[in-house]
Amino acid sequence: MRSLTLAEARERSSLITVTSYAVELDLDQGPDVFGSRTVLRFGCATPGAVSWVDVKARSVESVVLNGESLDPAQVAEGRLVLPGLARDNELTVVATMAYSHDGQGLHRATDPADGQDYVYGHLFLDAAPSVYACFDQPDLKAPYDVTVHAPDDWTVVGNGAATRGADGTWTLAATRPLATYFMTVCAGPYVSVRDEHDGIPLGIHARASLREPLERHAAELFDVTKRSFDYFHGLFGIRYPFGEYHQVFVPEFNAGAMENPGCVTFRDQYLYRGAATRDELLTRANTVSHEMSHMWFGDLVTMQWWDDLWLNESFAEYMSHRCLVDATDYADAWVDSSIVRKVWGYGAERSPSTHAVAGVEALDAQSALQNFDGISYAKGAAALRQLIAYVGDDRFIAGVRAYLTDKSFGNGTLADFLGAIEASSGKDLEAWSRAWLLTADRDTISVEVDEQNGVVERAQVLRESPADRPADRPHTFDVAGWTDGRELGRVSTTVTGPVTTLAELEGTPEPAVLVPNASDLTWARVRLSDSTIAALPAQLAQVPDEQARAVVWSALIDGVHGATVSPEAFLDVFDAAWPQETNSSILTRVAAYAEHRIVPYFVPRPEQDAATTRLNRAAAGLLEGAEPGTTESLAAARLVAGTSDDEALLRAWADGEGLPAGLEDDGDFRWIVVRNLAARGLIGVEEVDAFRAKDDTLQGGLNALMCRASLPEPQAKAWAWRQLTGREGRSNYEMVHLARGLWVAPDDALVADYVPRYFTDVPAMSDWVGEDALSRVVLVAFPRVFTEETARLSAKTIARDDLTPAVHRSLVDADAELREALASRQTFGAAV
């Protein structure tokens, strides 16, 4: 299918004004297809002109334009030409559409727990035409009237309040103007919990088999929802404008959530079936608040074209963390951001695919999707924090209010947004935006100290700008130092040049640990001094500032990726400091990163068992001393389950014997144990299937696939490869879980034959897998055989000119991680 270009979008928006959509969907035509009837009313600025409508159908039965029939066979590459337009037009398109199984369009999934089918619409970025005929671009917004015919036992939820009529027909209330990619329908035997707040009807919905966790988590979800509404109403001065507010937890969702007005969709893993750590609840609360903030920034005011996608995501990323800190019990949300979101964003910044936050002209829609990453989210949010430091918070919020008011139900651009902030603050933002928003990459900040007899004589912040992407970024942040848990000094500074003197530190005791950007206010590579890194095993756990500890861990992770910190140094700090960590986000995320990234990527293969044993030893020590049922106990138990080589312990836990408190009936925890047993060859296919029978759910099926793919046997790998790369009808989630297990092997020889096959077979999947889903498969399935030959094959594939944008971008990012691993291993060798 052709991807809409920016030039085409500009031409069409200059010609077309959409008045309304009336969409009728018939979801009672079986498991493969559904009926779609669209009545589209629109104006044309130049009568007699020719344009086109987007429609990606299994078949088009009829097309009527202004009373005249058009040939349905004229649809080509997802477009139907509309000739001889009048000033006012009515187009009716009747079509048969196909359900998807890759998370795009109208996705249909079967829940094996009860055999029931569930449908949801995910129309981002360009999937709307696979559901209804439309002018599919973000600046052609219009109100919607939607009618859905569904099986008798189904419930329907959508952008407008749903009313059930006769014969399973649901009518949704007319919406305010929406961009095409925000229209959604969720339908199936969903179960619901309802509430109301400040005159807004609220609903939370999930599969019937998730009734228990839905009801168990409903109070927490409603609480965060209500607090977020109150906070944003007060902050923006504009009431939520889209009627009811539904949150639907749907299966096999490609992202975390999607901000459809009035009907937000979430991945249903957020309804934790078993025990949940505090940081997992924080992550979910952040997602709830993030999507709600989009009701104003993204939904009420939508970017004009995809190259301003950051206006949606950076804003929501910043506002959700701000809301959690100011209005909920999750006051440590910025700590979570440091160790989760910014680590993700820094990874995107290290890749050759790095890009500016804004101003990257997306020449077509699919190209824009490639910049939907940690830079659009985490870096953009950090840039907004720096903008607030530059203009002042009151003036920033005044500008945001003006922007939202002026552009309500329309579209905005970067220039519009910055113009509103300039008007409210009285500051010229041209130089600031050029440095922070329009230039890619990041500065490196460090602190250089001269001391005499343990007293600081001179302290300077050094700011290094990337040579190939120079920029003059002002940074406002703080520097703090500790010895034995006592804070010896903290200085706030604004850095505007390569060298900035910290006069306030002169004459103070030299700290053992000195942390630039200690409160994590800016976006930069933090380079810790050699003396600080050497002191961390003894000192980090004593630092009382959890935000600074998160910055240190992030800097260590960044340093390992950049081959400036050895994996041995990281593991030394992990051994000493991690078991004493009290912040849930740091505790769980650092453990996961150590287990799933540091050891398998950066530790040479012959040394990995010893490194894994170190992780297990630290986790076992924490588990022994942790209070049962706490986040500390759960985090430690998960790490033990994933790293232990104690067959007796693993088999007992898998059978439900001797489990840590709170995990007695936790199926998700059991799968961690089973995966470890499978990867070590201690169980086989029959035993995996037996555990699958105990957890006959969607998540159980996915975990079983991953475990089967992890078995250290040639036949298991061959089976996994066929299931992954063949046309086996696997869903987006099934493909990802197969890929996760495939490369798990005791040695490279077992999977070596699949390295060259990856570079031919996986890109070819673009013939039947959607771009959004395939981009994830390409990343997860990338060979975990870290050799120069893998790098050679990767480079050769990236140079091909027949790759789709999503495949190319994911290959570039995965290749960058491979080369980081090779560089680290070459630099530090077998030092672990």
Which residues are marked as active site?
291
Dihedral angle over CA of 533, 634, 193, 327, nearest 10: -30
CB of 301 within 8 A of CB of 410? yes
State how far the Cα of 448 lies from the Cα of 456, in Å rounded to an integer. 10
CA distances to 173, 378, 479, 504, 555 from 516, rounded to whole Å, are: 53, 19, 5, 14, 10
DSSP state of 519: T
Closest Cα partner for 553 from 586, 595, 531, 598?
586
558, burial (CB in 10 Å: exposed 0-12, middle 13-18, buried 19+): buried
CB of 26 within 8 A of CB of 149? yes
CB atoms closer than 10 angstroms to residue 203: 22
State how far the Cα of 764 lies from the Cα of 71, in Å rounded to an integer. 33
Place of tokens 């903030």: 293
Q: Distance from first CA to last CA of the chain, Å, rounded?
A: 49
3-state secondary structure of 75: coil
Closest Cα partner for 301 from 406, 394, 383, 231?
406
Closest Cα partner for 616 from 647, 637, 586?
637
Positive/negative CA dihedral, 295, 299, 300, 304: positive
Strand partners, 444: 464, 525
Beta strands in 301-401 (DSSP E): 301-303
CB of 719 within 8 A of CB of 708? yes
Closest Cα partner for 203 from 189, 191, 213?
191
CB of 290 within 8 A of CB of 324? no
CA distances to 130, 366, 476 from 459, rounded to whole Å, are: 60, 48, 17
Length of the chain measured in residues: 832
CB atoms closer than 10 angstroms to residue 67: 7
**764: phi then psi, degrees, rounded to nearest 5:** -65, -15
**116: phi then psi, degrees, rounded to nearest 5:** -85, 150
